[in-house]
Amino acid sequence: MVLFATPVVVAQRSAPAPSDPTPRLADGTPNLGRIPGEKGIWNVPWIRNMGLRIDRREGGSDLPSSGGAVGLVGHDVKRDGSRLEPLVPFMPWSAAVYDYHVANESKYDPEGYCLPPGGPRMMATPYPMEIIQLPEQKRIIMTFEGATHIWREIYLDGRPHPTGDALNPTYLGHSVGRWDGDTLVVDVVGFNEGSWIDYSGHPHTDMLHVVEKFTRPNKNTLHYEVTIDDPGAYTKPWTAGWNIAWRANGELAEYICQENNQYLLRLTDDFGQPLFERKR
């Protein structure tokens, strides 16, 4: 046997350039958006399965915090559902619903019908995002290029959540926030049941309570952490997190869901027939 050796060239990798420090507002609060005169957006990654992004400090090894291959699902990757996600504290019914979504390749995904992603899924859908801080109004606006240009409002004026009939269930819920040092902590309630937690199809009920944490450790990184607390669907809260990268010079572009309907061409009924036909 003759063995042929192929020369191996080892590329010298230079250390990544250090990121600029966290920009701040006049009062010292971290600036989660653009500085005056700057262009740029947050390049939200596609986190298809939050069950594979769970904070494992309660047991197991840590998962990568940036958008890599972990948790990504495509047509060439088999998904086995709840049995491969032991850290997601499913109830029997929510595990069954999730397994159904997985088995059917998420063909009933509400977002495929141009409905808002809602809740933490907005931070896991790969469309640019802009954060606008309005300290004089004590609120923050987050705008998203996708999801029919959806936007959310976070109140920082100390108001409580509405209660009773005053709390109108919506896709985005009602958000109130506060600063804990350099971390923005957002408490969200008042969700309807029209969305999924993520693309893979983790379900939720209208009892969903979300706690989000936004931290900008440097100019080019926004760390996002979300705790899912839904006693109607899960036996205990669970937490996932990832990094979102800053894209300099980026801007939000026009997005019309009706004209971006390639997703719908993949949807099939229970007999495998297309729900929507391509126009010829």
pLDDT tens digits, one per residue of 137-154? 999 999 998 766 789 999
pLDDT over 70 at 274, yes or no: no
Q: CA distances (Å), 223 to each of 106, 187, 193, 245, in order?
A: 27, 17, 27, 9
Q: Average the pLDDT over 236-259 and give the result.
A: 89
Which of these ranges, 64-73, 92-101, 108-117, has the smallest mean pLDDT?
A: 64-73
Q: Is residue 93 domain-resident? A: yes
pLDDT over 60 at 216, yes or no: yes
Helix (H) or strand (E) holding 81: none
pLDDT over 80 at 272, yes or no: no
Q: Is residue 10 domain-resident? A: no
pLDDT tens digits, one per residue of 33-66? 999 999 999 999 999 999 999 976 644 334 433 3
Which pLDDT belongs to residue 117? 87
Q: CA distances (Å), 17 to each of 13, 14, 20, 35, in order?
A: 12, 8, 9, 21
Q: Residue 223: is it exposed, middle or buried by C-beta count within 10 angstroms (0-12/13-18/19+)?
A: middle
Q: 251 with 105: CB under 8 angstroms?
A: no
Q: Is residue 276 domain-resident? A: no
Rounded to two decimals, what is the model's pTM? 0.81
Q: Is residue 99 domain-resident? A: yes
Domain assignment of residue 170, given as a range:
40-266
Q: Is residue 20 domain-resident? A: no
**Number of compact structural domains in the chain:** 1
pLDDT over 70 at 15, yes or no: no
Mean pLDDT of the chain: 83
